[in-house]
Structure 1
Amino acid sequence: MGGFFSSTTNESESHDESESDYDKYEDIMEAETTGASWETAQQDKLEYSDKYGDIMEAETTGASWETAQQDKLEYSGPAASEKMAEMDAGKMEKYKTKILNVADFFEIDPAVIAAIISRESRAGNTIKDQDGWGDWNPKRNAYNAFGLMQVDVNPKGGNHTAEGRWDSEIHIQQGTRILVEFIDKFSSWPKEQQLKGGIAAYNVGDLKVESYGNVDKLTTGGDYSNDVVARAKWYKENFSFE
């Protein structure tokens, strides 16, 4: 489950910001444009990796044994993460355009978004029968998370209000907005470490990410950021986002 609130925003502030970003996103996505010319584009040869670090340079130990047991794998580590990412690739195809649109807007590598979707909902496979809801909480008698990216709606967790359909571009936009806000929390870290810290915080909140050395100490399975990074590397190398 992901999508905790940032430690420096309260519910009303975060909700207002969400609405502002939503309107901004909608306006931009609906505007007609022919885009930049080739000459203009060459003035600034920025890649996704320039803003939030290069996912291929991020360190990873991959999936824990606990996480690997989701697919009853007999091994853990990066190979397990890669196998699970590959298993989800076919289902991920239907969301490719939506992922790309959101990635372009936030200037983040689409492979990172795909990796979180793979980890959180197995590209929708684990939540499709519950209309996108996941992580049932018997104490609350309610689900804790929503959508492909399993945005945290638990009042004692992220306390977000779900936006859009569970498999919509608006939902992916909400989850990615939460992610990049967390990445920015670790701006004093080197870029690839900052990216990894933000991914871990997406799962547990930034206050529970104690240090880079213990980035996954409190995350689900003790491996959340390491697993997501390994899955993202697989998508970067093997999944066409064109």
Structure 2
Amino acid sequence: MSSVVAVALATVANVLDRGSPCLSSMATVGGLSLQCLDRLRWLDPDALVGIEHLVDGTGSPAVIAFSQPVARDALARVVARMGRRLPVRSVWRSLVQQYLLYRWSLRGQGNVHLAARPGHSADELGLALDTAVFDLWRTALEAEGWQWLGPRDQGHFVYTAVNDWHHHTDLSVRAFQALWNFHRPEQSLELDGSFGPLTENALLLSPAGGFPTDRRPASSERFERLLFWNPAALQSGPEVRWLQSGLARDHGLAPGQVDGRFGPMTALAVRRFQWRHGLRPDGIVGPVTRAVLGERGIPDVGLAEAMAKANVSSWDSVLLGLSTEGASSGTAARDRLPPGPEASARMAERDWPRLKAFAEPLRQAARAVDLPVALLAAIASRESRAGQLLDAGGWGERGRAFGVMQVDQRVHRLAANEDPSGPAHLHQAARILRRGLDAVRQRHSDWRPEDQLRGALAAYDAGIDSVRHPQWLDMGTTGGDYSADVLARARWLARQVPFVPTRERHRGYSSRRPVGGGGSQPHGSGADA
């Protein structure tokens, strides 16, 4: 057995006996920890949220940047006050990480003086963090409800400004029990959230790098070849090397040695990348993960064919592959947030409960014009905060525009003015956006697809005549950030709403349909009946 496979198959008991309280030992159980996180969010999808945009240190597999939403919001205020991200040594801890620290503290190993019993730690709840620069951040953290635990546990803060501090106390244990039962059904545990002798024994016997997956991709997912970790026969070759280089160079993720061999560290880096971008964290590099990685991360071998086989619209892949600056300071200030894509994502998250109320009509409208449903949802978020800014009759902009996507009656004959989130309104707005996209593609056929998509959004807001140069697309848009903000919101929303399958596209629409007439008025450039 190769040394790589031997390390991958080491158990938690091996790490406990041979390891020490340090980041490298925590990284050794990073694969199992991510699998625990996957099960925890399967048990309770709303328990934890990602905070990688607020902290530094996520390049290490030992640091898993998730917290409870209330703690995330408090930390965001701290980061906004300090003007930079917080360097951390740990944030959320899995049951296995907490167990190792607890056992090491009982032995008096290293500098671990205090460690709660597994299943009783604020770190497992997503309500704690550890930082080496506690002296510089202590005042700001304590002002937002983060309590410093004192000199015996320097760098450790717990968020205490919550009514139900012990919410989810057993969730970390139940997540591991569910994970064990899935992979070891013949030795299943009672899913009771109690860390007793049987659960402890199962944890010690678990592979530190995570349970190997026996999943084999369906034929409809294959393109060239899928990349995944197979301990029995490691995949290797130039595609794996390019993947490793891209993860390290472009995304700050450590795939281990860049040697062209798809080992456990590469699988862990892929899963972390997938979590970061809202993809299923299965460690398999298929067509969608490959599209999000982009051309620099891995060679684009037959991408068009791959996306067709995966039943994913080409504009979905463009949306997932682009980068954007996000909300401007003026737009972000409305929600008391610092500027950037994180602010856009946070605003989309706040609008998501209202967007869900008309998600199905949005999907139908997206199918009709072959555009990402997340893009339409993002426009509704930006234009009206998913209806929150409309008056009782569904009007905004002082009675000039109607509906959640704000169709301007000075430019368009309204298809409906009764239901601001109904199918008639959403289909009309979707057609306006699509005709704007076709107009941009017709006028600027040499532009990259991502710039054409940005141009379509700028045209939706400020008219097609404002779309002249790819570097100045938002110069004339509302807030000077319309396309950048909408795209950042759409990228977050793409995690919540599924892709629109190409096989379900509306047969009545064709991108060769004649483009509507021009104009420079806000909210759409194409004539629409």
Q: State the TM-score, normalized to the length of structure 1.
A: 0.73
2:355 to 72, 92, 98: 92
Contact 1:102 1:173 in 2 (8 A): yes
Partner residue, 1:36: none
Counterpart pick for 2:480 among 214, 222, 227? 222
> Counterpart of 1:178?
432
Identity over aligned pairs, percent:
39
Residues 1:183 and 1:46: Cα distance change in structure 2 (over 3 Å): farther
| 1:102 counterpart = 2:376 | no
1:211 aligns with 2:465: no
**Alignment RMSD:** 2.2
Q: Which residue of 1 aligns with 2:331?
A: 67
Kept after mapping to 2: 8 A contact 1:52/1:192? no
Cα offset for 1:192?
1.3
Q: Is the 8 A contact 2:319 2:450 kept in 1?
A: yes
- Distance in 1 (alpha carbons) for counterparts of 2:332 and 2:372: 24
The one of 302, 320, 328 aligned to 1:56: 320
Q: Gaps (5+ residues) in structure 1?
A: 1-38, 137-142
* 1:99-135 alpha-carbon deviations (Å, 9 max, x no partner): 11111111111000000000001011110x3311111
Q: 1:28 is matched with which residue? A: none
Could you tell me whether the CA contact under 8 Å between 1:58 and 1:193 is conserved in 2?
no
The one of 477, 492, 497 aligned to 1:240: 497
Instruction: Please give the residue correspondences for 1:2-21 in structure 2 after superposition, counting only pairs within 5 Å.
Output: none
User: CA contact under 8 A between 2:403 and 2:420: conserved in structure 1?
Assistant: yes
Indicate whether 1:118 and 2:381 are aligned.
Answer: yes
- Give the letter aligned to residue 153 of structure 1: Q
| Structure with the higher fraction of residues in helix conformation | 1
Q: Any idea what SS the aligned residue of 2:397 has?
A: strand
Distance in 2 (CA, whole Å) between partners of 1:119 and 1:48 is: 25
Q: Aligned in 2, Cα 1:48/1:173: closer, same or farther, shift over 3 Å?
A: farther
Report how far residue 152 of structure 1 moved. 1.2
- 1:138-153 paired onto structure 2 within 5 Å: 143-153=399-409
How far off is 1:51 after superposition?
4.8
2:386 aligned counterpart, secondary structure: coil
Q: How far did 1:76 drift?
A: 0.5
SS at match of 1:213: helix
Supply the AA of the counterpart residue of 1:152.
D
Aligned equivalents of 1:46, 1:172: Cα separation in 2:
27
Amino acid paired to 2:423: E
- Contact map agreement 1:144 1:153 (CA 8 A) in 2: yes
Partner of 2:117: none
> Partners in 2 of 1:184 and 1:100 — Cα distance?
20
Q: Could you tell me how far 1:210 is from its partner in structure 2?
A: 2.3
Deviation readout 1:167-202 (Å, 9 max, x if unpaired): 111100000100010111221122111111001110
- Conserved in 2, the CA contact under 8 Å of 1:58 and 1:192? yes
1:125 aligned counterpart, secondary structure: coil
Alpha carbons 2:373, 2:497 under 8 Å: kept:
no
Q: Aligned partners of 1:53 and 1:201: how far apart in 2? A: 21
Indicate the larger mover: 172-181 or 205-214.
205-214
Alignment length, in residue pairs?
A: 190
Task: Check the 8 A contact 1:52/1:191 in 2, yes or no.
Answer: no
Q: Structure 1, residues 193-231: CA drift from partner, whole Å, max 9, x if none?
A: 111100111000010122110010000000000000000
Alpha carbons of structure 1 residues 162 and 46: separation in structure 2 relative to 1, 3 Å = farther
Match of residue 31 from structure 1: none
Letter in structure 2 aligned against 1:95: F
Mapped partners of 1:119, 1:83: distance in 2: 12
- Partner amino acid for 1:168? G
- Distance, in Å, in 2 between the alignment partners of 1:94 and 1:241 is 15
Cα distance, 1:72 vs structure 2: 2.2
2:397 paired with 1:135: yes
Which runs of structure 1 show a deviation greater than 4 angstroms over 4 or more consecutive aligned residues? none
Task: Sort the Cα spacing of 1:84 and 1:149 in 2 relative to 1 into closer, same or farther, 3 A.
Answer: same
Cα distance in 1 between the residues matched to 2:309 and 2:386: 31
**Corresponding residue of 1:163:** 415
Cα offset, 1:47, TM superposition: 4.5
Higher RCO by CA contacts (8 Å cutoff, separation 6 or greater):
1
The alpha-carbon distance between structure 1 residues 47 and 222, as it changes in their structure 2 partners (threshold 3 A), is farther
Counterpart residue identity of residue 322, structure 2: A
Any idea what SS the aligned residue of 2:342 has? helix
Per-residue deviation at 1:240?
Answer: 3.2
Aligned counterpart, 2:73: none
Post-superposition shift, 1:162?
1.6
What amino acid does structure 2 have at the position aligned with 1:149?
M
Partner Cα separation in structure 1 for residue 312 and residue 383 of structure 2: 22
| Residue 197 (structure 1) aligned to one of 455, 464, 481 | 455
Task: Give the whole-Å Cα distance in 2 for the aligned partners of 1:83 and 1:53.
Answer: 22
Helix, strand or coil at the partner of 1:218:
coil
* Preserved contact between residue 62 and residue 80 of structure 1 (Cα < 8 Å): yes
- Rg larger for: 2
2:275 matches 1:45: no
| Secondary structure of residue in 1 paired with 2:396 | strand
